[in-house]
Structures are given as structure tokens and as C-alpha cells.
Structure 1
Amino acid sequence: MTPAARTQAAIELLDAIIAAAQEAGAAADTLIARYFATRRYAGSKDRRAVRELVYAAIRQCGERPPSGRAAMLLLTERDPEIAARFDGSPHGPAAIQQGEPVAVSGVVPAWIGRELEQSGLPAASWPALVARAPLDVRIRSDVDAGEALSTFPDAQPIAGLDRGWRLPAGTDVAPLAGVAEVQDAGSQAVSLAAEARPGMTVVDLCAGAGGKTLALADAMSGTGRIIACDVDRARLSRLPPRADKAKLTIVETRLLNPGKEAEALGDLAGAADVVFVDAPCSGTGTWRRNPEARWRLTPERLKRLTATQAHVLELAAPLVRPGGSIVYVVCSLLDAEGTLQAEQFLSGHPGWKASTPALPMGAPHGAGVRLSPVHDESDGFFVARLVAPC
């Protein structure tokens, strides 16, 4: 592909990504993979170059742009080389016309900016929220990290995480299959808030594909019981093969029926040492990996998410044994989903109290701890440990 053709491909992909964001369609990564699956002529260098153009444009547009061309034209204002590709050549973008729409530069949509400021994150901190993320992995506890990473000379240990390592972005981690999981440092850190130990009974109430389930099970050293639950059959079905590959035999999965979750959890009432609630959220802490997610979030969607979070906390409470705990986690930086949810739960459940988790990163924030890309070089999270009365 010529440079002009790569730029046109990026414009076409941006159009698809913008439409998907407006219509709750597929994520950018998925759309990019689909695009190149039908264009076998594009080599690895072409795919990499187009992908970099797409994400550079997404990161420059806080508000959803009117079109992929408008987003790419914003890049031309800063990069004359990209501007020169708008030459009308075959397979390239048409020449730039005076007065045509150009996307507005920014970091976040205006309404989200107000939410961030109210949550203690000033505008100066926002660029870090959409910067490119590193590649972190968690080495299995029964594996020698030095041996596993012997062919990765650039791997660096992550401070405070015994099994956490950071690799250069784009590293091929296929050789680590079965001995390591790709997992952000922040995700590894918040899993520690559960203080999972051998012999415990742990319920992972919103397990999804099980990234944190595997971290919890690994900390339990193969003894005890961990029940991974979710309402999403497709995501939950990916967990058993991952657990088998990691040799974690204590993981059970349980598919929940939306609206009837309490019935399916009845046998676990009062049995859990820890209920881990990695609640559905806005994902504002993961924009480094999914920057187009800023265009998907609306006030209405945020309201639905906070209602779901409160519902899941109510489901968790009856499962906890006296003196046990709920570990509430969201990959969000918004107080509406974080500390305010924890405080609302505590106000409605007399006798419960917050116990600030001792984590290797993050800072106390309201009823828990907040991690952020700004200060911790990790994804953004809020985590609270809510302890049941004895």
C-alpha cells in the first residue's frame, strides 16, 4: 500500500469506528481486524501503519468527530507529511478543500470533563488517560519468572507486584501461553485487595472472561473454592480453557440468569469469605487501550451503569459470611461509579464498614483506593473493601 492508500484506509476505518460508537457496535480493535481480514494484500507493515494512524486520530478527538476524514484532517494540521497524502491519487484521499469540516482537538467530551473534575481529576491530568498503554503480564505463581522471561531481555519487574512484569508495547507474548496472563498492573494490584488465601471460598460475581478470577485462584495456591459467575455466556465460556491452561483446578463457573441472579446464588448465602465484585462500568480507566470508548459513553448510559453497580452490590451482600468482605472494583475514575457507590452501600447496610486495602500502588480516595494512569502508570481503578459485621 502507498502512504496515501494507508491514509485512505485509516479514514474508512475511522468512519466505521465512529458509526459503531454511535450505535453501540463493535470495538475499534474488532473493526480493524475485520477490515484487514478481507484485504489480504495488506502486509504487516501496512496494517501497523494504518492502525497507528487510526489510533492517533482517535486520541486527538475528545468529542466524537463528524467523519473519519474530519478526524484525519485534524492530524494534517500537525503533520505536513500526512497532509501531503491527500493528493487525489488512486486509492488515496481526495485533495483537501478549503473550508471542509475538521474535527476539534480535545481529550474528553465536555460533559465527561465536568465529571472528571468533580471526581478530583483536573484537565491537566486528562492527556495521560488516553496515552498509549504498556504491555503488562502476570507470571503464574508456580513458574520461575526468570526462566519464563529468558527470551524477553527487555522485560522489567513492576514495583510492588511479585508476579508482575512490563514488556515493550507490541511484544509477541505467544511464547508465554500457559505460564503468564496479559494483565495490566492496576488490574493485578486491585486483585490483591481480596487478600485471597489458600482454603478460602471466593465468589467472583462479575467474572467475565476471568482475568481477575485467575489471579485470585493463583493466590489461593490450588486449595479452596472460587465460583466465577456472570450473565454473559460467551464471555464466561472463555474462562474454563484459560483455567485449564493455567492448571487452576479450583475454578468453578456459574452462568446467571439476568433478573434471577439471587435464585442461582442461594446455596452460597453466608458462605463466602470474599465476594469480588468487578462491576460493569464506564471503563474511563481503560481509555489508554480503548480510546474510542470516550465517544460511546453518555449520561444516560452512565446512569444505567450506576444502577447496575448498586444492584450487584445488593446481590453480593447476602453471600458474605460474618466478618467476610465484598471487594468492590470498577475500572472507572468517576466518583459516581467508585467511592459514591461504596458510600451509598455502607449507608444502607448498618454494621458494614470500609477497610482501606493496602495496595502497592494507588492513593486513598473516599471509601477506598484509586489508581490512575496519571500517578500509577496503570489503568484507572477504584477499589473498596467492605467488611460485613461479625
Structure 2
Amino acid sequence: MTPAARVQAAIDVLDLVIEAARANGAPADRLISEWFRARRWAGSGDRRAVRELAYRAIRACGEIPETGRAAMLRVATDDAPLAALFDGSRHAPAPIDPAEPAAAAGVAPEWLMRRLFESEVEGPEALLDRAPLDVRVNTLKAASPDLPEGAEKSVAAHGWRYPPETRIEQSAAYLSGMIEVQDTGSQLTCEVVAARPGETVIDLCAGAGGKTLALAAAMDNAGTLVACDADRARLQRLPPRAERAGATNIRTVLLDANREMQALQPFVGAADAVLVDAPCSGTGTWRRNPEARWRLTEKQLDRYAAIQSRLLDVAATLVKPGGRLVFVTCSLLDVEGADQAQGFLARHPDWRSDRPVLPAGTARGQGMRLSPFHDGTDGFFVARFVRL
């Protein structure tokens, strides 16, 4: 593909991303992969260039653009060499009309920027930086594996960091299960659980099990680790991941949304620790999913907050006296963080706050907040409570 054809291809991809964002459809990475799957003639250099152009445009637009062309024009406004590729040649985008509007610049839609400001989020522009590649050494396989070149130690106990473009999945350490890809902030939230060998630990919203695997390693495969989720497809991805990681103490439990206690009854009052990595807006993950800020609505945010409160109440019934409940969201908004922690304590006087001490992050209410701007991690809120 010529450089100009790559720009037009990125515009075509952006049209699909914008349409999906309006309909709350497939994420950008999946759409881009499917687009190229239907165009196998495109080389690896073409794929990389088109993907980078598309994500560059997504990050540049605060509000959802009208079209993919408008999004790319936002980038071309400050990039003369890119603007010159709008030359109307074969497979190239049409020349730019000086009166043609570009998409609006910014970090996020206006209502969401207001919420970030109210939550005192500093450096919101850092939410759109490219994220590094973080990995966790899997101590079930090796305490100090032969890591691929380029690693720098992170603040997480078993964490290392690579540049964003590192293709770690092709390394021997990854293929053998000696390392797992996991953001440093996510690793730190798992450390807050303080899971120990021999305990009963429940991961209430396990998804595909990224945090579950970290907990299994902390427990050294000794004890009972229950991974729960209401999404069957995501939960089914955990067993093969656990086998690769050498995690043998994991039991999966499929939940029925809004009827979780039907499956959780055997664990009432039995857990030493429960992790609630609750569904949330994902404002802390925009570095990886920048188009997610176009999808979120205030109504959806309210719905997430209600789900979080309910799941915290469910989790509280599972913890034995003296046990721990850890609440985590990958969000920087107080409604999904500090407000939730305060609300939980108000509803449950038989619990106390036990704010964790981390090597990164800042105190926020009864918990800690990690952010790309301050800590170089994804955005997280984490709070820990102890049952009296």
C-alpha cells in the first residue's frame, strides 16, 4: 500500500469504529483485526501503519467524530506531511477542502471531562498516552525466569515493564507460562488482597482470570481459590490459562446475574478474602481502549455504580469474621471509587476500612487511586475492608 492508501484505509477503519461506538458494538481492536482478515493481501507494515494511524486519530478526538475522515483531518491539521497525502490519487483520500471541518480535539466528551474534574483527576491527557507492556513473573513456574531483553523492574513485587511495541507473546518465557501480561496497577491491586497459602479466596468478578492467576501464585496453589463470573464465555477462557500457568487450586463458578447467591450459598461466611473487581466504566483503561470514552453515557455510569454497590453487598456475606474484602475498579471517577467505599461502610457498620499501603498511588477517600499521570499505570481505585 502507498502511504496515501494507508491513510484512506485508516479512514475506512475509523468509520467502522465510529459506527460501532454509537451502537455500543465491537471494540476498535477487534474491528481492525477483522478488517485486515478480509484483506490478507495487506503486508505487516501496512497493518501496523494503518493501525497506528487509526489509533492516533481516535486519541486526538475528544467527542465522537461524525466520520472517519473528520477524525483523520483532526490529526492532519497539525501534521503537514500527513495532510499532503490527501491528494486524490488512486486509493488516496480526496484533497482537503479548506472549509471542511475536522473533528473536535480534546480528551473526552464534555460531560465526562466534568466528572473527571469533580473527581480531581490530574493530567487527564495522560489517559490517552500509549501504555507500556507490563508482565508479571509467574512464581508457580519460576521465581526468576530468563526474561526477554528490554525489561525494566516495575514497582509491583513480581512485575517488569517493556516498551509498548514489544511482542512478548512470541517469547519462550510467555509461551511456557513463566510470565503473564498484566498491568502494574492490576498487579498491585492483587497484592492488596494479601492472599496466603491455605486460605479460601473468592474472585467474585473473575472474567477471564487475569487477577485470579496472580492470586493463585500468591497462594502457591495451596488453599481454595474460587473464580466466579456471570459471563460464561469469559470464564471458560480461564481453565486453559490456568493450565498454562500451572495453577491447580482454582475452581470456577458460573453466576446468574442478579441471582448470584444461588451459586454462592456454600461460601457464605467461609472466605478469608473476597476480591470484587467490579464492572465499571473503564476510564482508567483509555490508554488501551481510547474509543471507550466515546461509548460511555451518564446513564451507563449510573448503572455501573448500582452494580458495584450490589456486588459489594453480596461479597460482604461471603467473608468470615476477621476476613478481608477488596474492592477494585479500573476507573478514576469517585462515583466508582471513593464514593463506593464510603457507601459500603455506611451500609455495613460491622466492617472497618483498612486502606492499603502501596509503592505507588495516592490516597482517595478510604482507598488508593493509581493513575497514568502519577504512577504510569492504568487507572485504578482499590479499597480494603475488614469484617469485625
Same fold (TM over 0.5): yes
The answer on whether the counterparts of 1:282 and 1:297 sit within 8 Å (CA) in structure 2 is: yes
Pairing 1:297-316 to 2, within 5 Å after superposition: 297-316=296-315
For residues 145 and 180 of structure 2, the distance between their equivalents in structure 1, rounded to whole angstroms, comes to 16
- Alignment match, 1:59: 59
**TM superposition outliers: structure 1 runs of 4+ over 3 Å:** 142-147
Task: Normalising by structure 1, report the TM-score.
Answer: 0.97
Pairing 1:156-305 to 2, within 5 Å after superposition: 156-159=152-155, 161-173=156-168, 174-175=170-171, 176-177=174-175, 178-305=177-304
- Alignment match, 2:323: 324
Q: Structure 1: which amino acid aligns with 2:368?
A: V
- 2:188 aligned counterpart, secondary structure: helix
For residues 91 and 70 of structure 1, the distance between their equivalents in structure 2, rounded to whole angstroms, comes to 18
Does residue 1:93 correspond to 2:93, yes or no? Answer: yes
- 1:324 aligned counterpart, secondary structure: strand
Q: Do the aligned partners of residues 37 and 233 (structure 1) sit closer, same or farther apart at CA in structure 2, a change above 3 Å counting?
A: same
- Alignment match, 1:118: 118
- 2:25 aligned counterpart, secondary structure: coil
Deviation for aligned residue 1:162: 2.6
> Residues 40-88 of structure 1: CA distance to partner in whole angstroms, max 9, x if unpaired?
1111110110011011101111111111000101111111111111111
- 1:291 aligned counterpart, secondary structure: coil
Deviation for aligned residue 1:382: 0.3
Deviation for aligned residue 1:143: 4.1
For residues 301 and 39 of structure 2, the distance between their equivalents in structure 1, rounded to whole angstroms, comes to 37
- Alignment match, 2:383: 384
Out of 126, 129, 132, the residue aligned to residue 131 of structure 1 is 129
The answer on whether the counterparts of 2:74 and 2:103 sit within 8 Å (CA) in structure 1 is: yes
The answer on whether the counterparts of 2:59 and 2:107 sit within 8 Å (CA) in structure 1 is: yes
> Residues 263-314 of structure 1: CA distance to partner in whole angstroms, max 9, x if unpaired?
1100000000011000000000000000101101110110110011111111
The answer on whether the counterparts of 1:190 and 1:359 sit within 8 Å (CA) in structure 2 is: no
Does residue 1:49 correspond to 2:49, yes or no? Answer: yes
For residues 246 and 146 of structure 1, the distance between their equivalents in structure 2, rounded to whole angstroms, comes to 15
Deviation for aligned residue 1:144: 4.2
Unaligned residue ranges in structure 2 (runs of 5+): none
Deviation for aligned residue 1:338: 0.3
- Alignment match, 2:335: 336
Deviation for aligned residue 1:186: 0.3
The answer on whether the counterparts of 1:141 and 1:218 sit within 8 Å (CA) in structure 2 is: yes
Deviation for aligned residue 1:148: 2.4
- Alignment match, 1:368: 367
- 2:134 aligned counterpart, secondary structure: strand
For residues 130 and 353 of structure 1, the distance between their equivalents in structure 2, rounded to whole angstroms, comes to 36
For residues 67 and 20 of structure 2, the distance between their equivalents in structure 1, rounded to whole angstroms, comes to 12
For residues 286 and 257 of structure 1, the distance between their equivalents in structure 2, rounded to whole angstroms, comes to 27
The answer on whether the counterparts of 2:7 and 2:92 sit within 8 Å (CA) in structure 1 is: yes
- Alignment match, 1:7: 7
Aligned residue-pair number: 384
For residues 111 and 290 of structure 1, the distance between their equivalents in structure 2, rounded to whole angstroms, comes to 19
Deviation for aligned residue 1:387: 1.1
Q: Structure 2: which amino acid aligns with 1:26?
A: A
The answer on whether the counterparts of 1:277 and 1:329 sit within 8 Å (CA) in structure 2 is: yes
Deviation for aligned residue 1:109: 1.1
For residues 7 and 77 of structure 1, the distance between their equivalents in structure 2, rounded to whole angstroms, comes to 14
Deviation for aligned residue 1:146: 4.8
Q: Structure 1: which amino acid aligns with 2:296?
A: L
Pairing 1:69-80 to 2, within 5 Å after superposition: 69-80=69-80
Deviation for aligned residue 1:147: 3.8
Q: Do the aligned partners of residues 147 and 213 (structure 1) sit closer, same or farther apart at CA in structure 2, a change above 3 Å counting?
A: closer
Identity %: 56
- Alignment match, 1:28: 28
Task: Normalising by structure 2, report the TM-score.
Answer: 0.97
Deviation for aligned residue 1:98: 2.8
The answer on whether the counterparts of 1:70 and 1:103 sit within 8 Å (CA) in structure 2 is: yes
For residues 115 and 145 of structure 1, the distance between their equivalents in structure 2, rounded to whole angstroms, comes to 42
Q: Structure 1: which amino acid aligns with 2:365?
A: G
Q: Do the aligned partners of residues 62 and 376 (structure 1) sit closer, same or farther apart at CA in structure 2, a change above 3 Å counting?
A: same
Deviation for aligned residue 1:92: 1.1
For residues 115 and 152 of structure 2, the distance between their equivalents in structure 1, rounded to whole angstroms, comes to 35
RMSD (Å) for aligned C-alpha atoms: 1.0
> Which region of structure 1 is more displaced relative to structure 2, 166-175 or 103-112?
166-175
For residues 263 and 148 of structure 1, the distance between their equivalents in structure 2, rounded to whole angstroms, comes to 45
